Structure 1
Amino acid sequence: MVDVSTQSRTVPVPGGELELTWAAATDTGRRREVNQDAVFAAFPLFVVADGMGGHVGGEIASARTIERLSALAESGTVTPKTIEKALARAVKDIAAHPEATDDGTGTTVTGVFLDTSGDAPHWVTLNIGDSRVYLVRDGAIIQITTDHSVVQELVAAGRLSPEEAENHPYGNVITRAVGPSEGVTPDYVRLDVADGDRFVICSDGLTKELTDYGIRHFLDENSDPADAVTAMLDAALENGGRDNITVIVLDVRHPEGAGRSDDAERDSDDDAGSSPAGD
């Protein structure tokens, strides 16, 4: 059984303090021989990568991507520009491994970081691929990221219903990834900071086995992040564990209530500070 523990940190922000608690775990699942997922969870960055490709290639792709992003977090400067530089370096790392240069090799990367550079703190999600960030706020669960997948494109075009998408034969085919021949500019969503928010960052090994309602159920039943992660992981394994499974649960307490607006908003490139970045 995976050992899961809850970590915490109090963060000074404009207008007061944030109290963050989180837990993370990854499991190979019941049908895979190798865990090609990788995870990093430490303030201010919480990210999941789901590798794909050959027996070794996907594992290399996800590991190198997380290594570059974790080094970025440890440096203390996390912005869209520095993220894109780190991902560009990860692409070079992946390409340097001959066993990881197949066309199908790459990794998703999905997560959230805290931006305290402005007058009020904000969360910023980042996404390439079909791993996901969910937010539970005011009693509702919302998928913040949009999957980069063939199935999602069919749903967006009205050619497939969400119900049909769940078991579609192209369900595993993604349209964007971090890899030797792919771009490295994520989609960003900027979110206000609200007391009581709960984030779930996960690979598709979780969402293959649990519906959004199921994720919400285990969050409601488990106030401690480690307990919530363990409950979701156990349920995903019990439901089949067909893929590697990675989960982060991040809880936010902001007693002063500063910085909250009514809705999550998608940023323009200027708002998020997004721009393609090289080495």
Structure 2
Amino acid sequence: MTPIRIEVRTGAATHAGNLRSENQDSHLVRRPVFLVADGMGGHASGREASELVVRAFDHQLWGPWVTPQTLKDATAVAARAVADLGNRVSGAPGSTLTGAGLAVHDAEPCWLIFNVGDSRTYLLRDEELEQVTVDHSQQQALMDAGLTSRAAAASARKNVITQAIGGGLANEPVLDLWMLPARSGDRVLLCSDGLTGELSDQLIAATLLSVTEPQDAAAALVSAAVAGAGRDNVTAVVVDAVLVEGTRTELREWSSDDTVDDTSAGLGGDTRADLEVAR
């Protein structure tokens, strides 16, 4: 029987940007889970909120693979910790969360992608970059309702997200999950919106294609964002699958609409409160 195995190489870079005195982004690179958390800059203690999210995932007992349940457990711990922080400080501290875990589904090695908020996870495969996660934002909701991206951007209030960990939400966040079959050569990018707010998907793809080493690729992306306007904190984590064993011959197709079902992924009611985030 072919062993089920994923070997990865990783890189990470972060910068406060040109306009911020404090970097409220946090990240974690710890097999089998990799993540970026963006503290909500308009709220008190955003940096501490993102650090609490990372700590919850860092302290989780993962085993060799992540599962929807272990991700749900870690997110719930993070939500309680940020809620406790909100009880001790003024304002409503909060954080986004996006990440990728190494998982097995139907005896096949997979990426288990997870997301709350507007930080993003991308997959580069066969020289094509695709955004896996779907932003929890007012602008994305308008686009889902049928408006073009330009019309949605004009209609949406700037920097409003509809899901976060903390940020004054009454209920625990709903964690979106995608299970994607893994393939050797996959490159996964996790990033805060300080990156995607400055760089187009085309420039992100070109950088990921041209820079071989994951640490160099992460650093190049962050440097490019800072060299532009650099208006926000920016973080990039790059995870390369250098060897995947146990993949089926016929790779299953996937779509960003195909999340893991709500019964395994949901962490509470579908809360729609808007969160004003000063970036």
Task: Name the TM-score, length of structure 2 as normaliser.
Answer: 0.84
Contact 2:34-2:100 at 8 Å conserved across structures: yes
Mapped partners of 2:2, 2:25: distance in 1: 35
- Pick the aligned partner of 2:99 from 99, 108, 111: 111
Mapped partners of 1:101, 1:252: distance in 2: 43
Q: 2:77 — aligned with what?
A: 89
Mapped partners of 2:2, 2:177: distance in 1: 22
Q: Write out per-residue CA displacement over residues 166-212 of structure 1, whole angstroms, 9 at most, x where no aligned residue.
A: 67762411000000534233100110011211111000000011010
Q: Does 1:172 align with 2:159?
A: yes
The percent of aligned pairs where both chains have the same amino acid is: 36
* 3-state SS in 1 of match to 2:69: helix
User: Larger relative CO (CA 8 A, sep 6+): 1 or 2?
Assistant: 2
Counterparts in 2 of 1:216 and 1:157: CA distance versus 1, 3 Å: same
Query: 2:253 corresponds to which letter in structure 1?
Result: D
Shift in Å, 1:92: 2.2
- Pick the aligned partner of 1:32 from 20, 27, 32: 20
Mapped partners of 2:63, 2:247: distance in 1: 27
Q: 1:5 — aligned with what?
A: none
Alignment size in residue pairs: 262
Q: 1:264 — aligned with what?
A: 254
- Pick the aligned partner of 2:210 from 199, 208, 221: 221
Higher alpha-carbon deviation: 129-138 or 258-267 = 258-267
Contact 1:14-1:116 at 8 Å conserved across structures: no
Shift in Å, 1:53: 4.8
Q: Does 1:126 align with 2:114?
A: yes
Q: Write out per-residue CA displacement over residues 80-101 of structure 1, whole angstroms, 9 at most, x where no aligned residue.
A: 2222222222222223234546
Mapped partners of 1:170, 1:22: distance in 2: 35
- Pick the aligned partner of 1:234 from 219, 223, 240: 223
Counterparts in 2 of 1:138 and 1:262: CA distance versus 1, 3 Å: farther
What RMSD, in angstroms, separates the aligned Cα atoms of the two structures?
2.5
Shift in Å, 1:163: 3.9
Counterparts in 2 of 1:206 and 1:163: CA distance versus 1, 3 Å: same
Contact 2:142-2:156 at 8 Å conserved across structures: no
* 3-state SS in 1 of match to 2:163: coil
Mapped partners of 1:167, 1:29: distance in 2: 25
* 3-state SS in 2 of match to 1:210: coil
What runs of 5+ residues in structure 1 fail to find an aligned partner?
1-12
Q: 2:47 — aligned with what?
A: 59
Query: 1:247 corresponds to which letter in structure 2?
Result: A
Q: Does 1:243 align with 2:235?
A: no
Shift in Å, 1:248: 0.5
Mapped partners of 1:251, 1:165: distance in 2: 34
Counterparts in 2 of 1:212 and 1:31: CA distance versus 1, 3 Å: same
Q: Write out per-residue CA displacement over residues 201-254 of structure 1, whole angstroms, 9 at most, x where no aligned residue.
A: 000000011010010011111011111111111110011110000101111123
Q: Does 1:205 align with 2:199?
A: no
Mapped partners of 1:178, 1:76: distance in 2: 26
Counterparts in 2 of 1:248 and 1:73: CA distance versus 1, 3 Å: farther
Query: 1:88 corresponds to which letter in structure 2?
Result: A
Higher alpha-carbon deviation: 86-95 or 204-213 = 86-95
Q: 1:274 — aligned with what?
A: 265
What runs of 5+ residues in structure 2 fail to find an aligned partner?
269-279
Shift in Å, 1:255: 5.9
Mapped partners of 1:138, 1:94: distance in 2: 39
Query: 1:23 corresponds to which letter in structure 2?
Result: G
Task: Name the TM-score, length of structure 1 as normaliser.
Answer: 0.84
Higher alpha-carbon deviation: 247-256 or 43-52 = 247-256
Shift in Å, 1:55: 6.0
* 3-state SS in 2 of match to 1:254: strand
Shift in Å, 1:77: 6.0
Counterparts in 2 of 1:146 and 1:100: CA distance versus 1, 3 Å: farther
